[in-house]
A and B are shown apart, each in its own frame.
Chain A
Amino acid sequence: MTNHWIDIKNSDAVLIIGSNAAEHHPVAFKWIMQAKDNGATLMHVDPKFSRTSARCDFHVPLRSGTDIPFLGGMLNYILENELYFKDYVANYTNAAFVVGKDYDFKDGLFSGYDPATRKYDKSKWAMETGPDGGPVIDPTLQNERCVINLMRRHYSRYTLTNVSDVTGISEENLLKVYEIFCATGKPDKAGTILYALGWTQHTVGVQNIRTSALIQLLLGNIGVAGGGINALRGEPNVQGSTDHALLYHILPGYNAMPSAPWQTLAQYRKANTPATTLKNSVNWWSNRPKYVVSLLKGWFGDEATQENDFCYELLPKIEPGEDYSYMYVMDKMYHGKIRGGFIFGVNPMNSFSNTNKMRAALDKLDWLVCSELHNSETTDNWKRPGVDPKTKKTEVFLLPSAHRIEKEGTISNSGRWLQWFDQAVQPAGEARNFADIYVPLFNTIRALYKAEGGAFPEPILKMHWTDKFVADEWVRRINGFFWADSKVGGKTYKRGQLVPTFGALKDDGSTSSLNWIYTGSYTEEEGNKSKRRNSSQTPMQAAIGLYPNWSWCWPVNRRILYNRASVDLNGKPFNPKKAVIAWENGKWAGDVPDGPWPPMADRENGKLPFIMMKDGHGNFYGPGPADGPFPEHYEPAETPLARHPFSSQISSPVYKYHTSDMDQIAAPADPRYPYVLTTYSLTEHWCGGGETRNVPNLLETEPQLYVEMSHQLAGEKGITNGDGVIVESPRGRVEAIAMVTVRIRPFTIMGKTVHLVGMPFAYGWTTPKCGDSTNRLTVGAYDPNTTIPESKACCVNLYKADKLTEIG
């Protein structure tokens, strides 16, 4: 979240799209309701009417996979009617930047497309550069290649008719949402966009979110109270596990994973440290070398020296362009290229798309280590229904894990608050926390290398490691230490003392930090700030529900990101009643500002607000994503349509997919699979249900898999409420109980009726007779940027079942 849970109450217009917040973040919904009590309009845009819709002012059903046309139509509405916040757009965004001459867009394809590799040459989308190598900016906006002019032209195609035809939303309903949300383009109004993981689960997932960024930048809603783009994150510590990068492509703190062409630290630094020509741009990532060297120092301690590149050589290097994400791991596994591995606290055999392939792939492993609270579809894959264990070779080690109240440490909530939890009770039986498994395991491996030697033992032997895991020590390691006596702002710190803030991290080996964004969370002066329980506020902070002394928040306890964009050039809040920061008597009051510099009116020292962008401006046009500098509508990989009005490019030209015998994707408008399927979670079950199905009272409340469908579809298929139903896609067959409801209604798409059905994905065969994985239906087609599969939209058929075997 750019903002935080409580801040939602400050909003004047709440657009919930790609989220069912009332059911999946029920407690957070109280802050949404407070916004309503304060006069905000709540709008729910979602395929299905849910408890979120019931609580909102109105619900607008849209066909799954058409968020970009819906929001693209809003962009067109803003630009055509000049509803954008002009000062904000002029001063804080790249609207006036001139795009290079190679950029082009024709019939759904941007310039630089190579159909053979399904990839773009992104150099074609580069910005025009001046003699100093910096951007060319035309503040008059006369140049037709100014970002805002290209953007206007691009979205002029997103007319009400086209958008209505594709999304299934009436023009009247489109205008209703556009009018209310775009009213927040005024300086003293704020609108927020709330989404959840499902919005990323599309072949255009990244662009769904970018479209919302374009809207929020145009309306001046980033950095302000009640504004922002807020991912309502679903997993318990998914913010923290992303920050600490349990991901192949990054190192902790959002630093690039070393890649083969960067053989030395100097090469890594050169490739990953941006430079700007704009004097008033902070270009925060120019500090990256300090964070990467401090990370290496944290990992290798005294072994890491200037002379040996701080052990950079010991890190693995990935191949450029190679994908090592889990969908690719599973494909390599299916082809017998993986020996073994660790699956801890995740249940891919239920929650990964195209589950039948996942289950077959896991059979190919020699060995597997799982750590779980309960047996799951993953741990017990070797005895799943329909297979003979005597034919399955995989050795499985199943380690009992401790759950939250059995351990201590910190998590990071969706609003980036670092929250400490104490251990309440001892782990059940011989269960252990994950670190008490990995620490002794790594030490055992280390002992084997010491005793026997082996391949490339250096990184294992040289690591700055530990004999026993103590959570407090690792909170300190994450914060970081001085490794040489140092001075910060006149204060002297000894070797071994904690670094007070990331501004003090160095690239000379005198500091360590396992994650620079957390530096400052645990200091000599104030101790472990994640334990703070102090609700004191200034009146200015109280006015917007800011609790700066409760826990701590990254970065540097800044509760609202990009907050320098909430004030005008003189540091005066756009909305004085809900000020986030304000320049008063030569200093900032309110939240921790994005840097100490004075407002931009100070031409010498003032700085632009978007400090993480190289040139300091919010980007409407971004040459970064793999699928284009502007979001564009493409149908899901599986679609009921044979064509759409935006271009002749049906689906994304760059989405990723695999080609094994178990990777079937239906052609557009395949008559065998006429219905759209979307999937979702439930209030009573958590994600794939691996935990909650083992809690009897939760299972009793939501006992079995169902498929929601409209009365019209049920009528056509001769299905009545409560019937057993078979749902089929090219990849699998799933049994479910029919739930015939008015919550889902047929859509009229391009003049014809399209039915959508919805299914939860919380059920699996290890809980007897409740049904089995819905993801056996979902498609193995992935976003080209993130490789997240399109589990929110695929095509299916369904019919009444003669008999059920999965559901009792």
Chain B
Amino acid sequence: MKSTRRSFLKGVSAGIVCLTLGQLGFDLGDAHAYAGKLKIEGAKEVISVCPFCSVCCQIIAYVRDGRLVATEGDPDFPVNEGALCAKGAALFTMYTSRHRLEKPLYRAPFSNHWVEKDWEWTLNEIARRVKDARDQDMILKNAKGQTVNRLESIFAMGTSHASNEECAVIHQAMRGLGVVHMDHQARV
């Protein structure tokens, strides 16, 4: 079997270097204590993909007790071979950003602030608006009398952030509603 960089590094960390240094008479007490506190110790490795450009570098997310503790490039993935750019390397900080939205928010007409809402209320309100617009504006026939079954007063934009499965869900839902104004970043 071909030795990969990763299997080599695993071999190294298994003690070859430490043994050599130990034999040379270094006191390894501090180093062992540090290694014992490595932030990824006991963490589960989860394979993810960097969410920025389409190189789609693979990432290993280290998770302990349901919390993300570190991220790094996947050294086995043949495209990035463990490397990440500045953005990919900052993925962990992105997760911990205090600017994240965590609850549905609502801004009423002419209001100057957001109000927190629950998901059920929010989805019910949106569904009502979609249905009202659709019931009023659905175009069944065009000027020539051809059947067109389309809805022009609602649009959907985005997104290339979505997974393939999410894209499939979005496309199917929108065509089901009759939406024709659909677009995303491929055309920006």
A250 to B46, CA, bound (A): 35
Contact B165 A409 (CB under 8 A): yes
Contact A400 B104 (CB under 8 A): yes
A-facing residues in B86-112 (Cβ within 8 Å): 86-88, 90-91, 93-95, 97, 99-112
Given known pairs A246-B184, A421-B47, A695-B93, the reply for A240 and B163 (CB within 8 Å) is: yes
- Interface membership of chain B positions 137-171, coded 1 if the CB is closer than 8 angstroms to chain A and 0 otherwise: 11010101011111111111111111111111111
User: What residue of chain A has the Cβ atom nearest to residue B136's Cβ?
Assistant: A455
Given known pairs A246-B184, A317-B147, A469-B169, the reply for A390 and B135 (CB within 8 Å) is: no
Contact A397 B125 (CB under 8 A): yes
Chain B residues contacting A535 (CB-CB under 8 Å) are: 2, 4, 76, 78
Contact A260 B130 (CB under 8 A): no
Chain A residues contacting B166 (CB-CB under 8 Å) are: 409, 433-435, 438
Chain A residues contacting B40 (CB-CB under 8 Å) are: none
A409 to B186, CA, bound (A): 20
Query: A698 near B: Cβ within 8 Å?
Result: yes
A684 to B90, CA, bound (A): 9
Contact A454 B167 (CB under 8 A): no
Contact B178 A413 (CB under 8 A): no
Contact A246 B171 (CB under 8 A): yes
Contact A316 B149 (CB under 8 A): yes
User: Which of A251, A452, A455, A685 gathers most chain B CB within 10 Å?
Assistant: A455
- Interface membership of chain A positions 185-202, coded 1 if the CB is closer than 8 angstroms to chain B and 0 otherwise: 000000000000100000
B-facing residues in A359-388 (Cβ within 8 Å): 366-367, 369, 372-375, 382-383
A30 to B80, CA, bound (A): 9
Query: A25 near B: Cβ within 8 Å?
Result: yes
| B78–chain A nearest beta-carbon distance, Å | 5
Contact B56 A411 (CB under 8 A): yes
Query: B16 near A: Cβ within 8 Å?
Result: no
Query: A239 near B: Cβ within 8 Å?
Result: yes
Query: B28 near A: Cβ within 8 Å?
Result: no
A28 to B84, CA, bound (A): 10
Query: A126 near B: Cβ within 8 Å?
Result: no
Size range of the chain B interface in the assembly: 35 or more
| A12–chain B nearest beta-carbon distance, Å | 21
User: What residue of chain B has the Cβ atom nearest to residue A197's Cβ?
Assistant: B188
8 Å CB contact of A236 from B51, B140, B176:
B51
User: Which of B86, B123, B166 gathers most chain A CB within 10 Å?
Assistant: B166
Contact B110 A439 (CB under 8 A): no
User: What residue of chain B has the Cβ atom nearest to residue A375's Cβ?
Assistant: B101
Contact B180 A430 (CB under 8 A): no
8 Å CB contact of B172 from A407, A463, A471:
A463
B-facing residues in A205-251 (Cβ within 8 Å): 232-248, 251
Chain A residues contacting B84 (CB-CB under 8 Å) are: 27
User: What residue of chain A has the Cβ atom nearest to residue B100's Cβ?
Assistant: A428
Contact A346 B158 (CB under 8 A): yes
Binds B, one of A333-341, A494-502, A798-806: A333-341
A452 to B149, CA, bound (A): 19
User: What residue of chain B has the Cβ atom nearest to residue A426's Cβ?
Assistant: B66
Contact A344 B157 (CB under 8 A): yes
User: What residue of chain B has the Cβ atom nearest to residue A414's Cβ?
Assistant: B54
- Interface membership of chain A positions 8-48, coded 1 if the CB is closer than 8 angstroms to chain B and 0 otherwise: 00000000000000001111101000000000000000000
Query: B18 near A: Cβ within 8 Å?
Result: no
Chain B residues contacting A28 (CB-CB under 8 Å) are: 55, 79
Query: A5 near B: Cβ within 8 Å?
Result: yes
User: What residue of chain A has the Cβ atom nearest to residue B56's Cβ?
Assistant: A413
Contact B149 A314 (CB under 8 A): yes
Contact A683 B85 (CB under 8 A): yes
Chain B residues contacting A319 (CB-CB under 8 Å) are: 142, 148
User: What residue of chain A has the Cβ atom nearest to residue B186's Cβ?
Assistant: A242
Chain A residues contacting B66 (CB-CB under 8 Å) are: 425-426
- Interface membership of chain A positions 304-323, coded 1 if the CB is closer than 8 angstroms to chain B and 0 otherwise: 00000000011111110000
Contact B47 A393 (CB under 8 A): no
Chain A residues contacting B172 (CB-CB under 8 Å) are: 299, 463, 465, 514
Contact B94 A691 (CB under 8 A): yes
User: What residue of chain B has the Cβ atom nearest to residue A432's Cβ?
Assistant: B119
Chain B residues contacting A240 (CB-CB under 8 Å) are: 160, 162-164, 167
Contact B76 A383 (CB under 8 A): no
Contact A441 B168 (CB under 8 A): no
Contact B93 A237 (CB under 8 A): no
Contact B161 A236 (CB under 8 A): yes
Chain B residues contacting A786 (CB-CB under 8 Å) are: 187
Given known pairs A313-B149, A395-B109, the reply for A238 and B48 (CB within 8 Å) is: no
Contact A430 B104 (CB under 8 A): yes
A-facing residues in B174-188 (Cβ within 8 Å): 175-188
A147 to B111, CA, bound (A): 63
B-facing residues in A319-335 (Cβ within 8 Å): 319, 324-326, 329, 332-333
Contact A391 B169 (CB under 8 A): no
Given known pairs A238-B186, A430-B104, A445-B130, the reply for A404 and B51 (CB within 8 Å) is: yes
User: What residue of chain B has the Cβ atom nearest to residue A326's Cβ?
Assistant: B183
User: What residue of chain A has the Cβ atom nearest to residue B156's Cβ?
Assistant: A342
A507 to B93, CA, bound (A): 49
Contact B131 A454 (CB under 8 A): yes
A337 to B154, CA, bound (A): 10
Count residues of A near B (Cβ-Cβ below 8 Å).
158
A233 to B56, CA, bound (A): 10
Query: A605 near B: Cβ within 8 Å?
Result: no
Contact B164 A440 (CB under 8 A): no
B-facing residues in A416-445 (Cβ within 8 Å): 417-426, 428-435, 437-442, 444-445
Binds A, one of B19-27, B30-38, B57-65: B57-65
Query: B128 near A: Cβ within 8 Å?
Result: yes
Binds B, one of A472-480, A575-583, A636-644, A749-757: A472-480
8 Å CB contact of A396 from B86, B107, B128, B150:
B107
| B160–chain A nearest beta-carbon distance, Å | 4
| A498–chain B nearest beta-carbon distance, Å | 15
| B167–chain A nearest beta-carbon distance, Å | 4
Query: B13 near A: Cβ within 8 Å?
Result: no
A502 to B101, CA, bound (A): 41
Contact B140 A456 (CB under 8 A): yes
A345 to B167, CA, bound (A): 12
Query: A351 near B: Cβ within 8 Å?
Result: yes
Chain A residues contacting B170 (CB-CB under 8 Å) are: 246, 344, 434-435, 438
Chain B residues contacting A489 (CB-CB under 8 Å) are: none
8 Å CB contact of B56 from A236, A393, A395:
A236
A687 to B127, CA, bound (A): 31
Chain B residues contacting A247 (CB-CB under 8 Å) are: 182-184, 186-187
A398 to B137, CA, bound (A): 24
Chain B residues contacting A369 (CB-CB under 8 Å) are: 126
Chain B residues contacting A26 (CB-CB under 8 Å) are: 85-86
Given known pairs A373-B101, A374-B99, A398-B101, the reply for A24 and B53 (CB within 8 Å) is: yes
Chain B residues contacting A454 (CB-CB under 8 Å) are: 131, 134-135
Chain B residues contacting A383 (CB-CB under 8 Å) are: 112
Contact B148 A419 (CB under 8 A): no
User: Which of B103, B128, B161, B172 gathers most chain A CB within 10 Å?
Assistant: B161
Contact A694 B97 (CB under 8 A): yes
Contact B61 A243 (CB under 8 A): no
Contact B165 A455 (CB under 8 A): no
A764 to B52, CA, bound (A): 19
Contact A419 B56 (CB under 8 A): yes
Given known pairs A316-B178, A317-B146, the reply for A419 and B103 (CB within 8 Å) is: no
Contact A475 B165 (CB under 8 A): yes
Query: B114 near A: Cβ within 8 Å?
Result: yes
A-B CB contact pairs (8 Å), 16 listed: A26-B85, A236-B160, A238-B185, A247-B184, A252-B168, A325-B187, A326-B157, A342-B154, A344-B170, A374-B99, A397-B125, A398-B105, A426-B66, A435-B170, A441-B130, A471-B165
With A246-B167, A426-B66 given, can you name 14 additional A-B contacts, CB distance below 8 Å?
Answer: A27-B88, A235-B160, A246-B171, A344-B162, A351-B188, A374-B100, A389-B110, A401-B161, A409-B164, A430-B102, A434-B170, A459-B175, A514-B168, A786-B187
